[in-house]
Amino acid sequence: MNSTSRPAQNSPGLPARAATARDFVAVDDGGDFSYHRSEQELLTAFEYVGEAACILDRSGSAHRLALDPNRRLVLGPTYGPVEFHWLRHAWLDAQNAHPEGHRLRRFYPLTREEVVSDLFETLALERGTEPVGGAWSLEINGVASHPSGMADIDRRLQHHDLLGYAHVTDPFGHLYRPARRRRHWYLPAAAGFILYIEIPAAAAAR
């Protein structure tokens, strides 16, 4: 996560999903985060009740898994709003522990609503689940294009040595500067992977 605090005024994003949509973010018993497009998809991702340490809906309410009378996994009722400080630190820990899996690094969220919104947006984008009505934008040396997703952006930047001249905008309006991260200190930078670090909109003009 970008340790810079979020600016007071954010770039406008896309509307949240319709109220009828039921997608979820889960934190597993190892501390990693995942995005699930539906309740059924969520339930098939886990094998036992304690495997999911916390499950979030878009309102920021926390759930746990439970067993029905036939001992099948079901989504339990909410037990209240997720604890903000725990969630923010758990997300930061997951990004540090799994940097290649969580490569969109936004400004440090200041409220529970911000961290919940960031989780749903970034995890869906990293998974390749694109929101309706938005598009990625990649600008290199002033030339803009519209990649199909993060994998497409990775391919386009693969052979560019000077990533400081590139800027990426996600479908929610957040602006990033790509930066390479080495997998190991003794490997060349080209053998690493790309992180996308959020920057203020004004920084793109410099």
Following DSSP, what letter does each residue of 123-177 receive, concatenated?
HHHHHT-PPTT---EEEETTEEE--SSHHHHHHHHTT-S-GGGEEEE-TTS-EEE
State whether residue 87 is helix, strand or coil.
helix
Measured at the CA of 152, the angle between CA 91 and CA 130, to 5 degrees, comes to: 55
Mean pLDDT, residues 57-76: 96
Q: What is the pLDDT of residue 142?
A: 87
Quick: pLDDT tens for 80-95.
999 999 999 999 999 9
Q: What is the pLDDT of residue 129?
A: 80
**Tokens 């790509």 label which residue?**
178
- The terminus-to-terminus CA distance of the chain in angstroms comes to 23
Q: What is the pLDDT of residue 192?
A: 74
Q: What is the pLDDT of residue 16?
A: 43
What percent of the chain is modeled with pLDDT above 70?
Answer: 82
Quick: pLDDT tens for 98-142.
999 999 999 999 999 999 999 999 999 999 887 666 799 999 988
Region for 80 from its dihedrals, namely left if φ exceeds 0, alpha if ψ lies in -120 to 50, beta otherwise: left
CA distance linking residue 103 with residue 13, whole number of Å: 19
pTM of the model: 0.85
Mean pLDDT, residues 141-154: 91
